[in-house]
Amino acid sequence: MKIALIAHDRKKELIVKLATAYQDILSQHELFATGTTGQRIIEATGLPVHRYKSGPLGGDQQIGAMISEDAMDMVIFLRDPLAAQPHEPDVNALIRLSDVYEIPLATNIGTAEILIRGLQAGLADFRTIVHETDNRPLSL
């Protein structure tokens, strides 16, 4: 599965702790992240992470593009709801795209942990089925 890891500044330490705690599970998947978040996860865990630009510089939009192409299976975006974000429209667009394309999305640590544990238990396998059936011709 392809998993995006994103965190606002005051949540970066928390996403690093999450990635460290669930390193064994995350190592079995392809990871993507916005710039600084990805670098901090790489430094703390050694996991391979494809890094996009920083969120305010378009990283959120790059991940959103992957979602719109059905090339992302899960998004963990630890948001800071108490801080104004200069790129708030991009954040909202990413959340909206996750809803439009039915991509599992966590915006807080509690939900993120449940999604990661669900990965381990096979509860997100429907994404694999979606990819398998997308290429089959429809029978009438």
60 classed as catalytic? yes
- Alpha carbon distance, N-terminus to C-terminus of the chain: 30
Residue 69, helix vs strand vs coil: coil
70 and 78 Cβ atoms separated by less than 8 Å: no
CA–CA gap between residue 24 and residue 109 (Å, rounded) = 18
Cβ neighbours of residue 42 under 8 Å, at least 6 residues apart? 48, 49, 51
Among 52, 63, 3, which Cα is nearest to 28's? 3
Pick the catalytic residue: 24, 60, 70, 134? 60
Residue 115, helix vs strand vs coil: helix
Catalytic positions are 60
